[in-house]
Every structure is written in C-alpha cells, then in structure tokens.
Amino acid sequence: MTTSLARRRFLALAGAAAIAQVPAHSAAASPKPGGYPFTLGVASGDPTSTGVVLWTRLVPEPFLPGGGMPRTKVPVEWQVATDERFRRIVAHGTAWALPELAHSVHVEVDGLAPDREWFYRFRYRQEVSATGRTRTTPPEHRPGGKLAFAFASCQDWTSGYYPSYQHMARDDLDLVVHLGDYVYEGGIPADGGYRKTSTPDTLRKAPQDLERWRMQYALFKSDLDLQAAHARFPWLVTWDDHEVKNDYAGTKQEHAGDITGLRAAAYQAWYEHQPVRLRSHIYRRTHWGRLVQLDLLDGRQYRSVPPCGWGEADACTGGYAPDVTMLGFPQEKWLYSGLAASKARWNILGSNVMVGRLDHDGASGDKLWHDAWDGYPAARNRLTDAWVNSRVSNPVVVTGDWHSTFVNDIHRDFDRPDSPVVATEFVGTSISSNGDGQVYGPYYGPMIKYNPHIKFFDGDRRGYFRCEVRNDRMTADLRVVTTVSRRDSPESTYASFVVESGRPGAVQK
C-alpha cells in the first residue's frame, strides 16, 4: 500500500469516527539514545481463530517531534513462529512504517491455526524487538472449553506505577480486555506526579495536537510492566473519555464546547498506539468458540449530549426520549442483531461506563451520575429488552471508568425495582488512577444503601478483575495491590464471585 493511499484510508476511517512471562528485551529496558527503535515494546490484539494483529512503533526519541525517525516510510520485517526461539517460522513479511502514522506498524496476520499460542517479533535494520506471545481463538463452532481473561481500565501515569500489570503478566491468561482511560489528557508535572520521576518539559501542557498526543502515549507506554502485559497476551481495547477529554459526549464537552479537532487528533494517536485493525468503527465482536461472544462497545463518540445535565444531576424526562442514545443507533442495531443471532453460552458486553443504576440520594431525590447509562435510561431499557426478547444466554457486563469496584444485579427496568434481574455487571477499579488515596469509598459508600441491586462495593483499592468462563459458570476474582507507589507492590485476591449459568446475578464466594 502506498504512503498516500494508507494515509487517505486511515483519515477516511478516522473521519467517520471523528466527524511464562515474556521478558523485556534488554535493549528495550535500556534503550540506546537515538538508536534503539522499539522503546515502546510490542503488542498483539483483536485475535480471531486464524489470525491476530501485531503492533509496534519505531520511536527512538519518544519526546521529540517525529519520534527521532526520518520523514519517510521505512520497511519493518516481522515473523511469527510456533516457539519463542523462532526455530519454526510459520509467517513472515515486511510492513511499511509510515511517518503519517507515527511509524507505527499494524500487521494483520491471517492463515494461522486456531486455538494455540504463537510468538512474534519485529526487525528494523539491525535492531530486533522484544519477543511477544499471542494466541488465536478456538473456532467459532467449537463448544465447551474455557476462557481466562483479565479486564482493566484507568491507568493515569501520574497517579502511580502499574504493579498490577507485572502480576498480570505472570498469569496464565488467554486475553486482556482494556475498557478505556488508557491515557489521560492532562499535562505532566516535572516530577512525574505520584511517581516522582523526572519528565521532559515538552510534556507540561496538555495535548492539543497530534504530535503532543503521540508523546502522551509514548510516556504511558514506556512503563515496562504495561509493556510486559502487552507482550504476554493479545488485548482487546476500547476507549473512554480521558483518551480525549473528561466526560465528553460525541463532539461536545461541558466546559470545552465543540472538541471535533481535538478528538480527531486524539483518535488518530489512539490508533497509532493500539494493536487494533484498521476499520471504520471501534465497536466489534470476538468469539471464543461457542463458549463466549464478547461485544466490545464504543460508548463515547456516538452518544447524545446527556439531556438532564452533565455529571451529577437530577433525573428528568428527557432521558426517556426515543431519540436519545448512548451507543448511536447503527451501533445499537449491530449489537442487538448480534445478540439475537448469538449461539454462545455466555454473552459478555465490554462497556466503558456503568450500566447499573447508582441512586445518589434515595427517596429524598433523583440524583444520578449522567455520564453513565443512568443518564440514558431509555437506551438502557432497549439493551435489557434486547437481552430478554432475544433470550440471550447468560448476559454479563464488564465495565471500567469508576476507579471503584461494583458488582451489580441488572434489572429489566431500574424504575421498577421489582422487575426481574436479567444480567450481571462487574465494574473494575483502576490500575493506578486516584493513587493510594481514599476518594470514592467515602463518596459512594453512603449511597450503597439506596441501591440494593449493588451486591458488592469497594472504592479505594487499585487492581483489576481476573475472570474464568466455563460452560456452567463464570468466576471473577478482584485482584488488588497494596500500593501503586512502587512497582513491586504485592497482590492478593480481595473478593471472588461466581455467576451460575442460567442464573443472572453474582454470588460472593
């Protein structure tokens, strides 16, 4: 593909959107100044039964315009093998790294055997990347088996280290699902915030253009524990608000007004730094045999401006208007037709914001948080109706965003508390955001008594959920670390839950 054609193709798609642990390569851990190009590691994502996306970016100088690369396209070799010593190479080729896309590389490999692990690497000139491990999914018709995956979100670099990724990379997982807030949009303090790590002056101001967004991603992706988790497992990634601007809806944000230009730059930088396929939309569907259908949503760029107010506000009738949507009607149609056709035993929805209701003040008022599905009650009812009317098997939602942990029963209609429970929701805490502070425990804690469908809440621990899905049950373990003030923070399982097939609602073990 020529440089100009690839550039036009990406901008057309972005325009539709915007208008055992694999050790780090020694050179990656201590890059040669101006030399070693694979400073941000390697990653894979969007696996199918026959292929996967392989990613890297050539950036020897992450905080200089252009990343220290020439303003020309350059060839990058790639290899896929059955073993990490590359004695049996099964696929290889050369990809162009384009300056228009920050010299990122997205290789969409196909023709691999299903349901097995693979190893991959890149070469540019005389330099070789770290070795990554990935895997293909079971074929869509195969029943049974199991899926072990982690889901995570909210990793503000200035709020702390990522010890959870170090623990995650030592686990035996099939997949990682990241539900948004991969980067944050603010300027970076000189001392690195909670990390107390010196950062370049060019990062002081918040990203406003594409070149600065690229540096923001480079900073976050420079974390070696994040690199290790990317190198160990294939990832499925969506975005939330902080990849652009806090609590935005479509092209609007409460304090910034129209953010179309900012969003376009941020979206392009997101693509350049994630192991995703080049496509016209972010929402997509992954099958793990006939065991799991996983629908990953884009709950940001198509949503209506919240009709009852931004953030915390009273409920109003505007949220029930039929033209108000969280997902946009094309995405709704895609989702509900896919759920109706699903033959999977478990149907998992990856949502960037919470589906379950969170009543802030009980019978004394109707205060809700309108940046979540609470601001779009009619859209939420369309979702629960789709689950019920299509007799969707075992719907479960995994959610990010809240820097807190919730385990929720999802009712058919939250305006009727006696309506049946139709699904289960696990809301994960943050990887680092809010640091070690006790913020949301004191804030949300007093509200829980007004919400009997919330079966578990914790507001102040950092970590992620580890899930395992089998035919008869899904288990979810909340893995937390003691602190994000250092990389070697110990991890423990703080709480465990099980959802039995055919019985919506989680039970704490």
108 φ/ψ angles, rounded to the nearest 5 degrees: -95, 90
**39: pLDDT strictly greater than 60:** yes
Q: Angle between the 329-341 and 377-389 helix axes, to the nearest 10 degrees?
A: 20
- Grade residue 458 by pLDDT with cuts at 50, 70 and 90: very high
Query: What share of the chain in percent tops pLDDT 90?
Result: 92
Nearest Cα to Cα of residue 296 among 425, 397, 168? 397
d(C-alpha 165, C-alpha 163), whole Å:
5
Dump pLDDT digits (tens) for 125-166. 999 999 999 999 999 999 989 999 999 999 999 999 999 999
Distance from C-alpha of 407 to C-alpha of 426, rounded to nearest angstrom: 5
Cα separation, 403 vs 430, in Å, equals: 4
For residue 117, give both structure tokens.
């692990």
Using the predicted structure, report yes or no on whether residue 14 has a pLDDT greater than 60: no
Element (H, E) at 294: strand 292-296
Q: In degrees to the nearest 10, what's the CA dihedral of 249, 254, 259, 263?
A: -50
Mean pLDDT to the nearest integer, 466-477: 98
**Residue range 345-392, pLDDT digits in tens:** 999 999 999 999 999 999 988 999 999 999 999 999 999 999 999 999
Task: Summarize the confidence of residues 431-448 as an average pLDDT.
Answer: 96
What is the predicted pLDDT for the residue at 34?
Answer: 52
- The band of 279, judged by pLDDT with boundaries at 50, 70 and 90, is confident
**Consecutive H or E run containing 338:** helix 329-341
Cβ count near 421 (within 10 Å): 14
**DSSP 3-state of 206:** coil
Tell me the mean pLDDT in the region 224-237.
98
| Angle of helix 210-221 versus helix 260-272 axis, rounded to 10 | 40
pTM greater than 0.75 (yes/no): yes
